[in-house]
Amino acid sequence: MRKLSHGEILDQRLTPEDAVKSNRHPISLMLENVRSLYNVGSIFRTADSALAAELILCGFTPHPPRKEIEKTALGAVDSVPWRYEENIEDAIRAEQAKGIKVLAVELTDEHRAYDSISFEEYPICLVVGNELTGLDDKTIALCDDAVEIPMYGVKHSLNVSIATGIALFEAVRLWKGFEK
Amino acid sequence: MRKLSHGEILDQRLTPEDAVKSNRHPISLMLENVRSLYNVGSIFRTADSALAAELILCGFTPHPPRKEIEKTALGAVDSVPWRYEENIEDAIRAEQAKGIKVLAVELTDEHRAYDSISFEEYPICLVVGNELTGLDDKTIALCDDAVEIPMYGVKHSLNVSIATGIALFEAVRLWKGFEK
């Protein structure tokens, strides 16, 4: 067993032009009032790796062009379809009007697990919230459902970019299973 | 559906004393030459949330006490069992001598998926590498096997703290499935 060389990895990957046009996974991400430029940049990079359909930045979430985002995103700002929507309520209703199921990623009293998404629910949009306060209650109420990453430790919270990565890659993993 | 209140979340979580003593998941993490204090702090926080068995910091990976680590870890430095081992070769051999299966998290020519870990393989130790160079070839050769997170996009890489979160939570998810 040996690590792949840089050249072998380059051979496998998409060009930015292919990535924007390619058959992306039916999973988009929506961010509500994420404050940190570095978290936004990191989420761009994760969305690229997962071939997420789209990244929708809402409220006071910073958006490109910002050099701190681009530095952390390592080029993913050009390969991930994204847009800025000031009003998250409008953004959620627009996704729903397109037939996309909108799922809050949040700890709620329903405790539905993040690995319980069924084939029929796709396409989906995962909504994640602010670093300190999570999603607004009003936003959760607009979503079609909520899923949570189980928390086993002392702090009961993850960095928002980590939580997004875990939820997004699980949604992709489930989707790839349905494709088989 | 409503978001859990801060009080309800507090009621569910462990105290730091309980967390260190509690029946932790049979999954430890080993970091090789991770450079960023913020990545190390973030990985502490993720390891707490996943109730990982232990965090083993190797090579030039920074370790507590460092105020940048503690700030990002949000208290997890006190709840996650951790130790520093300068020599990763010794650290890997010590895990193996305890009957722990050591799995590199890296893109290799074997392409074994990160969600293919079987019940018989636990307890496991997931090994992740440097932000730019990944794991050393010598380190991969010492590991019992390697697993990879599939990369679908342009960049073919994730931030190390995101990759660690995805691989760790998948290992926990699989383990919880076997417990049922």
Per residue in B29-56, pLDDT tens? 999 999 999 999 999 999 999 999 999 9
Task: Determine the pLDDT at residue A23.
Answer: 85
Task: Determine the pLDDT at residue A10.
Answer: 75
Cα three-residue angle B112-B83-A38, rounded to 5 degrees: 65
B142 and A CB contact within 8 Å: no
Instruction: State how far residue B50 is from chain A, nearest Cα, in angstroms.
Output: 6
Do B19 and A74 count as a contact with CB atoms less than 8 A apart? no
Paired strand residues for B176: none
ipTM over 0.85: yes
> Which 3-state string (H, E, C) describes A46-115?
HHHHCCEEEEEEECCCCCCCCHHHHHHHCCHHHHCCEEEECCHHHHHHHHHHCCCEEEEECCECCCCECC
CATH number for position A43: 3.40.1280.10
B36 and A CB contact within 8 Å: no
Task: Determine the pLDDT at residue A31.
Answer: 98
Domain count, chain B: 1
Which residue type occupies B111? H
Q: Which of A1, A42, A149 sits opposite B108 (nearest CB)?
A: A1
Which residue type occupies A169? F
Residue A3 lies in a domain: no
Question: From the first residue on, what is the mean pLDDT of each consecutive set of 10 residues in chain A (180 residues)?
Answer: 82 71 90 97 97 98 96 92 98 97 95 96 97 96 97 90 98 92
Question: B49: nearest CA in chain A?
Answer: A153
Structural domain boundaries enclosing B46: 23-179
Return left, alpha or beta for A101; rule: phi > 0 is left, psi -120 to 50 is alpha, else beta. beta
Instruction: State how far residue A24 is from chain B, nearest Cα, in angstroms.
Output: 9
Task: Determine the pLDDT at residue B155.
Answer: 80
For residue A55, which residues of chain B lie inside 8 Å, CB to CB? none
Task: Determine the pLDDT at residue B65.
Answer: 96
Task: Determine the pLDDT at residue A24.
Answer: 93
Residue B2 lies in a domain: no
Q: How do residues B151-173 score in pLDDT, each as one tens digit?
A: 999 887 899 999 999 999 999 99
Do B151 and A42 count as a contact with CB atoms less than 8 A apart? no
> Judging by DSSP bridges, how do beta strands B145-147 and A52-58 pair with one another?
unpaired
CB neighbours of B9 closer than 8 A, spacing ≥ 6? A107, A156
Task: Determine the pLDDT at residue A4.
Answer: 86
Question: A18: nearest CA in chain B?
Answer: B154
Do B4 and A109 count as a contact with CB atoms less than 8 A apart? yes
- Across the range B140-153, mean pLDDT stands at 96
Paired strand residues for B126: B29, B103
Do A2 and B157 count as a contact with CB atoms less than 8 A apart? no
Residue A33 lies in a domain: yes
- Across the range B73-86, mean pLDDT stands at 94
Residue A2 lies in a domain: no
Do A45 and B154 count as a contact with CB atoms less than 8 A apart? no
Indicate which of B110, B145, B169, B176 best probes the interface with A, i.e. most A CBs within 10 Å of its own CB. Answer: B169
- Cα distance between residue A141 and residue A32, in whole Å: 14
Residue A4 lies in a domain: no
B180 and A CB contact within 8 Å: no
Q: Please, which pLDDT band fits residue B21 given cuts at 50, 70 and 90? A: low
Residue B62 lies in a domain: yes
Residue B39 lies in a domain: yes
Instruction: State how far residue B26 is from chain A, nearest Cα, in angstroms.
Output: 13
